[in-house]
Amino acid sequence: MFEVGFTEIILILGIALLVLGPERLPKLAADLGRWAGRARSMARQLKTQLEQEANYDPLRDAPKPAPAAPPPPPPAPSEKVAAEPDETDASKST
């Protein structure tokens, strides 16, 4: 598409030096560097936000309902069971 080689960059810097002069060129270079840093930072933040939105899953992030209480234990069998006569008791009575 549009490629800028080393010679083109040198030519642009030479023209900028002639037009702006040696006094204003360092300040302009510092301003351009600061702007480029801010642009990179904003692009990085935008990329991070887009990735977060793309990976957002509302079902995964929703609060989970509390687990249901366990069912009550079944009632214990009554312990009042009729005592069965022992075989030894039967032999004593005869």
pLDDT in tens, 1-26: 578 899 998 998 899 889 988 888 88
pLDDT value of position 91: 54
Which range of residues forms the domain containing residue 32? 24-56
Evaluate whether residue 44 is within a structural domain: yes
pLDDT, mean over the chain: 81
pLDDT digits (tens, 9 = 90+) for 39-50: 999 999 999 999
Evaluate whether residue 35 is within a structural domain: yes
pLDDT value of position 31: 94
Evaluate whether residue 50 is within a structural domain: yes
- How many domains does the chain divide into? 1
Evaluate whether residue 31 is within a structural domain: yes
CA distance 51 to 45: 10
* pTM (two decimals): 0.46
Q: Tell me: pLDDT of 34 over 90.
A: yes
Q: CB atoms < 10 A from the CB of 25, how many?
A: 15
